[in-house]
Chains A and B, each alone.
Chain A
Amino acid sequence: MQPFQCLTATACPLPYANIDTDQLIPARFMKRSRAEGYGSFLLHDMRFSSDGSEIPGFPLNRPDWRNAQIVVARRNFGAGSSREAAVYALVDYGVRCVVAPSFGDIFASNAVNNGLLPACVGEHDAESLIRLLEADAREITVDLQAQNITTNGVSTPFTVDPVWRMKLLNGWDDIDLTLSQGEAIAQFTANDAKKRPWAVPRTG
């Protein structure tokens, strides 16, 4: 996994609440293999009209924000379906950080597993950032070590689960860590078989 430490990049305001994972990637694109890349499906039905042409007013279609690596949205970003494809679409498009007042829980953990930072800011701070970005397109700096977002001298703190922060800073993957716990797992299952003999399914 690619680590995330500090990123200075164009940030695109997405002034919407409840951008759910069905919007991040509509279900009809999920049959494709990841190898084909999911970036072109990101927010597909918000970006494109039914004839496939770009919807001009949508922020990500504006020349200033087309290459954004950071997006700033309103509350409850990534609610809904557990589809990790929503994160693939963001990552494959080039987004490395989403800033919002709150995130769907499953989305946020999927994000971290793919090196995408879900940075949680206060509702007022999200509004100020959105206004700032709408007023004048600019780069912002997201510093995960310091847990703040800066632009033109204005600094906004953000929160992220400390464990997720470590994982992102180091690009850690859970699986190797878990495999090193083999002994503890074996001990647990041996005890558990006595405590909850009914927990293993049986037919007949």
Chain B
Amino acid sequence: MAQSPSGPQTLFDKLWDSHAIVTREDEQTLLWVDRHFVHEGSFHAFNKLKERSAKVSRPDLTFGIADHYVPTRRSGRSIDPAIQNMLDQLERNTSENGVMLFGLNDPRQGIVHVVGPEQGLTLPGLLMVCGDSHTSTHGAFGAWGFGIGASEVAHVLMTQTLWQRKPKRMRISVDGTLAPGIGAKDIALSIIARIGADGAQGHAVEYAGSAIRALSMEGRLTLCNLSIEAGARCGMVAPDETTINYLRGRPFAPKGEYFERAAEDWLRLMSDEDAQFDREIVLDASEIEPVVTWGVSPEDALPITTAVPDPESIPDSGKAAQIRDALAYMDLKPGQKLTDVRIDRVFIGSCTNSRIEDLRAAAKVLSGRKAKVPGLVSPGSSLVKQQAEAEGLDQIFRDAGLEWVESGCSMCVGMNGDIVQPGERCASTTNRNFKGRQGPGARTHLMSPAMVAAAAVTGHLADVRPLIEERS
């Protein structure tokens, strides 16, 4: 919907306007990029730069982070030469261009979407890009973050700008109060199940409503992170006191009176009262249950209290075939109760759910209990790891029988060699249950950290709520 510049604007409209450099007749707009993160996969883009004998245009706005390929078991082990090569290329490409790198041995190293917020590199009102689809995460601060491909990475490296067509605006409101044990992951999976993995395609999503306002920054990061799994261009939450309190004192955030002045600007970043959205979705928080995925797309998500769908009862033949295919890959029976699905291992980590609050939620369930299956816990950053150790969470994970390792993308994508074996079933806090995502033939069930902990102690997909109640 076209809006006059003087009329009521959405938060996204405001971000758009503050970054538009020129708009062509064909409605493509050249946008200014405030932050650009590059990880090991950026070598394709740096090679394009070399072909043109070009240099990074704004090294001060570009930050390198080693995360996708870093080994999570580091001490006393030699690194696979192909992986070492990926790390070396990033080191070379950043140092040759004067770009700061949070490398393997940097105490601030971690997953890009955890480190950015943690370091105060992510701020409200910024346009942030990275060659990684989960860049939507940074929207939690009222920033506009989106993932780009290698050609676009090269374009940003060379010009600090990007051409875009304005996406449509969608508001997803979640009102009411979440029940204990239910969090941002359950909200996000419920939304994706409802609108589909392409339900927000071509849209900039704003999350609003009392349940969203009540979320911590960690929760908002999880929610915005999963926007891309609904196909959205980006997801965002308007800044408020929670945002400002999180940012105060972060290493790269403005300091002192500069911070207070910035905070005034940031708190003005919100959708105007009468702003029009192209699409509105409303959810009732009190109806949200703990959710798990059963299939091979994040849209294949259901409350844990239900059963695997039966393709025979689906009239749409294409949809039925899709379910049949997913059930075959996942080795599940139609109509099988979700709580009857036995698992082989668990993974707690990834940019979706590896922040301190996620680790606390899992540890709360695991404390004093034993996991029936093996599993890996990889904190989202080296600083999160430090914090968790200071709180004694590492000991809870170890006592439960899980492995406590260093930070990185790890088993989210398996690039560093942390994979789920073929045919194995993993309860995972990650974001994609795609075929082969966690390793060839791996079967992934997505859920919240508390739900993964519940699966670990029971050995099957399980409702975390009784396990929490036993504690209180």
Contacts and interface: CB of A to CB of B under 8 A. Distances in A.
Contact of A198 (B148, B258, B434, B436): B258
Given A27-B415, A161-B165, A198 B262 contact: yes
A76 B197 CA distance: 8
Interface residues of A, number: 62
Contacts of A154: none
Interface in A106-128: 106-107, 109-110, 113-114, 127
Nearest to B150: A84
A119 B321 CA distance: 24
A110 B380 CA distance: 28
Contacts of A113: 149, 151-152
A43 to B, nearest CB: 11
A60 interface: no
Interface in A2-23: 15-18, 20, 22-23
A160 interface: no
Contact of B60 (A17, A114, A200): A200
A68 B147 CA distance: 30
A119 to B, nearest CB: 16
Nearest to B133: A82
B332 interface: no
28 contacts: A17-B322, A22-B434, A22-B436, A22-B437, A28-B414, A31-B86, A50-B422, A74-B318, A76-B196, A79-B297, A80-B133, A81-B132, A82-B147, A84-B44, A84-B131, A85-B44, A106-B149, A174-B151, A174-B163, A175-B52, A185-B21, A185-B159, A185-B160, A188-B21, A189-B32, A195-B18, A201-B252, A202-B254
Interface of B: 18, 21-22, 26-28, 30, 32, 34-35, 41, 44, 47, 52, 60-61, 69, 82-83, 85-86, 120-121, 123, 125-126, 131-133, 146-152, 154-155, 158-161, 163, 165, 196-198, 201-202, 228, 231, 233, 251-252, 254-255, 258-259, 261-262, 265, 296-297, 318, 321-322, 325, 413-415, 422, 432, 434-437, 440-441
Interface of A: 15-18, 20, 22-23, 26-28, 30-31, 34, 45, 50, 74-76, 79-85, 87, 102-107, 109-110, 113-114, 127, 161-163, 166, 174-175, 177-179, 181, 184-185, 188-189, 192, 195-204
